Amino acid sequence: MLIAVLSDIHSNLAALDAVLASIGPVDAIWLLGDIVGYGPEPERTVARLRAVGAIGVQGNHDDAVAGGESIELFNADGRTAAEWSRTRISDKTREYLAALPRVLVKETTAGAFTLVHGSPRDPIWEYVDSPYVASENLAAFGTGFCLVGHSHIPLAFRTRRAGGDSLRMRIVEPEGRMQLTDRRAILNPGSVGQPRDGNPDASFLLIDTDAAVASWHRVAYDIVATQAAMAAVGLPSDLIRRLARGR
């Protein structure tokens, strides 16, 4: 079974379509939240994901765009984009975003995975971006593996030995791989629609459950087209510029 794990798409339909074209047929698509927010195509991005049968969890931007209180904690640009997005989605999409679960557990032949946007103990807000935070979260999920988004950086945390609670962290390079073993791990696929690791290409993760391998991938997309779509609807200029820098 081949599973694509996508996170932080952020209404960037050009990036999502480039990823979907690059992965080809897969058995499942798992989403780690922030489908919307920041970008220019909230309605069509949700429609595309529903059409391909993707399942997943809610992020802080999904909650905010659906009308939730997360918006109170956003910075000015995030809030502007979320308020704009609220006016551009259908009732059906609003209900879909509001109803997304915050934690999902999926069983596979390679082991069980907990899916969250932020962290297992704080599913839409906490950033798992250090070995300390990752190890603090080991007790908050009951599966061997946890998939997180939110930081927009492709990351892998893994215990140094089976049963251990000391974790090693690595920022995963394009085409990086990890064998899924009896050592617990927290994996971040990076961001499809707004990468922040200095590489502007869309980032995603594939899980091959037969081989028990997770692999990270990058794909170029038409950044200028997304930037033009954002400018056309008056989204904040810093959000437009950062796509080209991958920051």
Q: Is 8 in the site for Zn ion (CB under 5 A)?
A: yes
- HSE at residue 118, side-chain half, CA atoms within 13 A, is 16
CB closer to Zn ion out of 54 and 110: 54
Question: Rounded CA gap, 87 and 80, in Å?
Answer: 11
Strand partners of residue 113: 106, 145
CB closer to Zn ion out of 153 and 178: 153
Site for Zn ion in 67-126 (CB under 5 A): none
Question: Rounded CA gap, 161 and 187, in Å?
Answer: 16
Question: Rounded CA gap, 110 and 211, in Å?
Answer: 8
Contacts of 92 (CB under 8 A, 6+ apart): none
Q: How far is the CB of 117 from Zn ion (least distance, A)?
A: 8
Select from 34-42, 130-138, 168-176, 226-234 the region that touches Zn ion (CB under 5 A).
Answer: 34-42
CB closer to Zn ion out of 127 and 215: 127
Select from 2-10, 17-25, 74-82, 206-214 the region that touches Zn ion (CB under 5 A).
Answer: 2-10
Contacts of 22 (CB under 8 A, 6+ apart): 217, 219
Query: Smallest Cα–Cα separation from 10: which of 245, 243, 244, 220?
Result: 243
How many chain residues bind Zn ion (CB under 5 A)?
Answer: 2
Q: Are 164 and 138 in contact (CB under 8 A)?
A: no
Q: Is 34 in the site for Zn ion (CB under 5 A)?
A: yes
Q: How far is the CB of 24 from Zn ion (least distance, A)?
A: 25
Q: Is 201 in the site for Zn ion (CB under 5 A)?
A: no
Q: How far is the CB of 58 from Zn ion (least distance, A)?
A: 12
CB closer to Zn ion out of 180 and 192: 192
Q: How far is the CB of 59 from Zn ion (least distance, A)?
A: 6
Which residue's CB comes closest to Zn ion? 34
Which tokens in the block code for residue 91?
A: 């009732």
The residues that touch Zn ion, with contacts defined as CB under 5 A, are 8, 34
